[in-house]
Amino acid sequence: MTYSIVIPAYNESNRLRPTLDALLRYTQEQKWDVEILVVNDGSTDDTAQVVREYGKVHPQILLVENPGNRGKGFSVRNGMLHARGDVCLFTDADLSSPIEEAQKLLAAINQGADVAIGSRWLKSELQTERQPLYRQAFGRIFNFVLRVVLDMRFVDTQCGFKAFRRDAVQRIFPLQKIERWGFDPEILFLARRAGFRIDEVPVVWAHSQGTRLNPVRDGIRMFGEVLRIRWYSITGAYNAAPIAAQEKL
């Protein structure tokens, strides 16, 4: 079994070093055949240089470059379409969910899931540092909108910790159109539409103070993106033939 770990990164040079150290340590302990793809989303700091330095010593660490700043959704898609693992996982650059929690996602996949998604709210007691109340309220409202517009019944779609079988990656991500924060419900919508089994798994998680999500500006954008997902589905935009999995974005 081979693994790919995708990390979307925008101006993450300060947080990348401890994250890459943790990933290297854990994957070596587990003796994984792994590649770690850091997707640089047009960073203006030395994010790319940090990845290159690590890659010189650890060839399993690879740099993927976006064509400028395109957003987290584009970064995840770009990384997934370059990934070669039998199981492909994406995680946030700050490891809000410790990499050790990946075992829970892999267990779900080993038990038959095609997609395993981390959840902060299935067992909220696992949160070591909770979001501010306004972020929690936004999450509840957004979850309600997903239920109404997309009939999506997951407790937590937005946790940045998800794993996919390779065949699911090849079916889902070529069709993804949302490039920024609203991409999570889109890939889950596409997975469900393709008939893939999706398991939601409670994971340890800690809120990061460095998050860049603006609950007002990005919240409005995400609600608009949910409507776009429904529109794309109605108009047949998701019926187009998938692009090649290794398309250079």
Domain spans of the chain, in order of start: 2-239
Who wins on pLDDT, 62 or 131?
62
Q: Does pLDDT of 170 surpass 70?
A: yes
Q: Does pLDDT of 245 surpass 60?
A: no
What pTM did the predictor assign? Answer: 0.89
Please tell me the least confidently modeled range out of 72-86, 154-168, 206-220: 206-220
Summarised one tens digit per residue, pLDDT across range 16-41 is 999 999 999 999 999 999 999 999 99
Q: Does pLDDT of 223 surpass 50?
A: yes
Q: Does pLDDT of 60 surpass 70?
A: yes
One DSSP character per residue, 129-164 reads EPPPHHHHHHHHHHHHHHHHHH----S-S--SEEEE
Decide: residue 97, CB within 10 A, 0-12 exposed, 13-18 middle, 19+ buried.
buried
Specify the CATH class of 2-239 in words. Answer: alpha beta
Average pLDDT, the chain: 90
Mean pLDDT of 212-223: 72
Q: Which residues contact 164 (CB under 8 A, 6 or more apart)?
A: 80, 87, 88, 89, 114, 115, 116, 172, 191
3-state secondary structure of 197: coil
Is there a contact between 122 and 193 (Cβ–Cβ < 8 Å)? Answer: no
Summarised one tens digit per residue, pLDDT across range 105-145 is 999 999 999 999 999 877 776 766 666 666 666 677 788 88
Please tell me the least confidently modeled range out of 2-6, 76-80, 136-140, 200-204: 136-140
Query: What distances in angstroms separate CA 203 from CA 33, 114, 153, 169, one per listed residue?
Result: 23, 18, 18, 22
CA 235 to chain centre: 26
pLDDT at position 143, please?
Answer: 81
Radius of gyration of the chain measured on its C-alpha atoms: 17
Res. 248 pLDDT band, cuts 50 70 90: very low
Q: Tokens 């937590």 sit at which residue?
A: 156
Q: Give the closest residue to 99 by CA, choosing from 22, 206, 32, 14.
A: 22
Who wins on pLDDT, 173 or 150?
173
pLDDT at position 213, please?
Answer: 64
Tally Cβ neighbours within 10 Å of residue 33.
11
Q: Does pLDDT of 198 surpass 80?
A: yes
pLDDT at position 83, please?
Answer: 98
d(CA 45, CA 22): 22
